[in-house]
Amino acid sequence: MKRKIALLLVIFFMKANLSFSQNRVDDLMKKMTLDEKIGQLNLLSPGGTITGTMQNTKVGKKIKNGEVGAIFGLKGVEIIKKYQRYAVDSTRLSIPLLVGLDVIHGHRTIFPIPLGSSCSWDMDLIKQSAQIAAKEATADGIMWTFSPMVDIARDPRWGRIAEGGGEDPFLGSAISRAMVEGYQGNKLDDSKTVAACVKHFAAYGAPEGGRDYATVDMSKVRLFNEYLPPYKAAVDAGVATIMTSFNVIDYVPASGNKELYIDILRKKWAFEGMVVTDYTAINEMIAHGLGDLKKVSQLSLKSGIDMDMIGEGFVKTIKESIENGALNESDVDRACRRILKLKEDLGLFDDPYRYLDETRQNEIMSQENRLFARKMASESFVLLKNEKQTLPISDSKKVALIGPLADSRRNMLGTWSVSGDHSKAVTVKEAFEAWLPKENLKYAKGANISDDPIFAKKVNAFGKEIVIDERSAEELINEAIEVANQSDVIVAVMGEAADMSGEASSLAHIGLQPSQTRLLNELKKLNKPIVMVLYNGRPMTLNWENENMDAILDVWFGGTEGANAIVDVISGKVNPSGKLTTSFPVHVGQVPVYHSMLNSGRPELGKYQKFKSNYLDIPNTPLFPFGYGLSYTTFEISKPVYSNTNLNAGNSISVSVDVKNTGNIAGAEVVQLYIRDLVGSISRPLKELKGFEKVFLEAGESKTVTFKIDEELLKFYNSKLNYQAEKGQFEIFIGNSSNNVTTQIIELK
Angle at 371 between CA 562 and CA 108, to 5 degrees: 70
- CB-based burial of residue 719 (10 Å sphere; 0-12 exposed, 13-18 middle, 19+ buried)? exposed
Closer residue to ligand NOJ (CB): 147 or 596: 147
Structural contact between residues 99 and 74, judged by C-beta atoms closer than 8 angstroms = yes
Q: What residues contact 431, with CB distance under 8 A and at least 6 apart?
A: 563, 564, 566, 567
Closer residue to ligand NOJ (CB): 199 or 410: 199
CA distance linking residue 666 with residue 709, whole number of Å: 30
Helix and strand counts by DSSP (H, E) for the chain: 21, 27
Closer residue to ligand NOJ (CB): 279 or 435: 279
Cα 450 to chain center, whole Å? 26
Active site residue: 102, 155, 278, 451, which one? 278
Of 83, 86, 146, 674, the one binding ligand NOJ by CB under 6 A = 146
Question: Is residue 554 among the annotated active site residues?
Answer: no
Q: How far is the CB of 34 from ligand NOJ (least distance, A)?
A: 28
Sign of CA dihedral 439, 441, 444, 446: positive
Q: How far is the CB of 217 from ligand NOJ (least distance, A)?
A: 20
CA distance linking residue 165 with residue 145, whole number of Å: 17
Site string for ligand NOJ, 461-500 (x = CB under 6 A): ----------------------------------------
Closer residue to ligand NOJ (CB): 148 or 529: 148
Closer residue to ligand NOJ (CB): 243 or 491: 243
β pairing state of 248-249 and 144-145: unpaired
Q: What is the 3-state secondary structure (H, E, C) of 355-401?
A: CCCHHHHHHCCCHHHHHHHHHHHHHHCEEEEEHHHCCCCCCCCCEEE
How many residues bind ligand NOJ (CB under 6 A)? The answer is 8
Closer residue to ligand NOJ (CB): 311 or 640: 311
Residues 233-252 that bind ligand NOJ (CB under 6 A): none
Q: How far is the CB of 146 from ligand NOJ (least distance, A)?
A: 3
Residues 260-279 that bind ligand NOJ (CB under 6 A): 278-279
* DSSP-derived 3-state class of residue 274: strand
Site string for ligand NOJ, 197-216 (x = CB under 6 A): --x-----------------
Which helix (H) or strand (E) segment holds residue 428: the answer is helix 428-435
* DSSP-derived 3-state class of residue 303: coil
Q: How far is the CB of 626 from ligand NOJ (least distance, A)?
A: 25
Residues 38-67 that bind ligand NOJ (CB under 6 A): 49, 51
Cα 222 to chain center, whole Å? 20
* DSSP-derived 3-state class of residue 376: helix
CA distance linking residue 430 with residue 304, whole number of Å: 51
Binding flag, residue 102, ligand NOJ (CB under 6 A): yes
List the beta bridge partners of residue 647: 748
CA distance linking residue 680 with residue 228, whole number of Å: 21
Q: How far is the CB of 6 from ligand NOJ (least distance, A)?
A: 44
Q: How far is the CB of 538 from ligand NOJ (least distance, A)?
A: 17
Closer residue to ligand NOJ (CB): 201 or 733: 201
Sign of CA dihedral 676, 678, 680, 682: positive
Q: How far is the CB of 149 from ligand NOJ (least distance, A)?
A: 6
Question: Which DSSP state fits 409?
Answer: G
Closest CB to ligand NOJ: residue number: 146
Residues that bind ligand NOJ (CB under 6 A): 49, 51, 102, 146, 199, 278-279, 503
The residues assigned a catalytic role are: 278
